Structure 1
Amino acid sequence: MSRDAALFQLGMDLDRGSSTTQEEVSVSAAGSEAVAGQPDERKDHFILRDGKEYAGTHLIVDLWGAKRIDELDHVEAVLKRCVEAAGATLLHIHLHHFTPNDGISGVAVLAESHISIHSWPEREYAALDVFMCGDAQPHEAVEVLREGFAPSYVAVTEHLRGQGL
């Protein structure tokens, strides 16, 4: 395998449009975009909602009785729809398909943080974590997961990351 192909497999390629070659974009809490290096009134992108200030919303999502969690193209499409529904900015997706059980592990890296998935198709179970800061709406991703994987049961736990004392 060539060096470039090996780097591409690791998500570290320099010539194929990976996150390492993309221009960094900053999304402010007000929703406006500024190119890195240019002034922005707020650089930390902390959220202020309902009198609480925190870094972002982290959802732990368990899907039981989930379907199509062993189909790489389908999982990627669902993650992309999650990003769109949440109003987030996709930077890169990397998924790995395991054998012999056909489980999938991977991450959608976002300007606002990430969505990760680990699936156990032999148990019809998928564990996801959806973490977003700024104006993104991570809860919107949950409905997309319901539609995309048709689970019989969904458990969602929310944690506000970086919440002050």
Structure 2
Amino acid sequence: METIGFHYVVEAAGCDPQILADAKKLREIFLEAAKVGRMEVKMTHFFKFSPTGVSGMVVVAESHLSIHTWPERGYAAIDVYTCGTKADPEGAVDYILDRIRAKYAHVSEIKRGIYEDDDTYTHMIMTWEEALRRNGNGG
């Protein structure tokens, strides 16, 4: 089945609140994640909210990586979307989850742009949960 893109939607919990509150650190993590995921960075923007939280995006030639954080809850909403087959979006997701010290992740992989015989497109979703080994916890 041929697809135009892969979109990972991630709910990350049990994350390090200090990292989730640090726009500069998150920018560094996401730039490295793009490199790990074999993506070509075009631009970045990360914004620190007051009193807490960060929203950030890395635009890549293949599409984008983004994060929205709630440090007071240890929660981050993460998107990684890539077009084509050269990039490794799952590798980028794994790198991000490791660096924000997530203890748990609910991941949906959406295969987008699946061509139908009637000249339309659809998508397919696969979802899983992971208990991650962070700080001596998890599976």
Give the TM-score range, shorter chain. 0.7 to 0.9
* One of 42, 61, 77 as aligned partner of 2:28: 77
After TM superposition, the score normalised by the length of structure 2 is 0.78
Letter in 1 for 2:11: D
Distance 1:127 1:140 in 2: 17
Distance 2:56 2:22 in 1: 13
Letter in 2 for 1:156: V
* One of 61, 69, 81 as aligned partner of 1:131: 81
* One of 88, 99, 102 as aligned partner of 1:151: 102
Which consecutive unaligned segments of at least 5 residues does structure 1 have?
A: 1-51
* One of 24, 30, 40 as aligned partner of 1:89: 40
Count of matched residue pairs: 113
Larger-gyration structure (1/2): 1
Letter in 2 for 1:117: I
Specify which structure has the bigger relative contact order, considering alpha-carbon pairs within 8 angstroms and separated by 6 or more residues.
2
Distance 1:129 1:77 in 2: 16
Q: Which residue of 2 aligns with 1:62?
A: 11
Q: Which residue of 2 aligns with 1:53?
A: 2
Indicate if the aligned counterparts of 2:27 and 2:56 stay in contact, CA closer than 8 A.
no
Q: Secondary structure at the match of 1:54?
A: coil
Shift of 1:133: 1.2
Letter in 1 for 2:7: H
Letter in 1 for 2:6: T
Say what the alpha-carbon RMSD is for the aligned residues.
Answer: 0.9
Q: Secondary structure at the match of 1:150?
A: coil
Which consecutive unaligned segments of at least 5 residues does structure 2 have?
A: 117-139
* One of 105, 109, 118 as aligned partner of 2:59: 109
Q: Runs of 4+ in structure 1 displaced over 3 angstroms?
A: none
Shift of 1:117: 0.6
Distance 2:92 2:106 in 1: 13
Shift of 1:72: 1.1
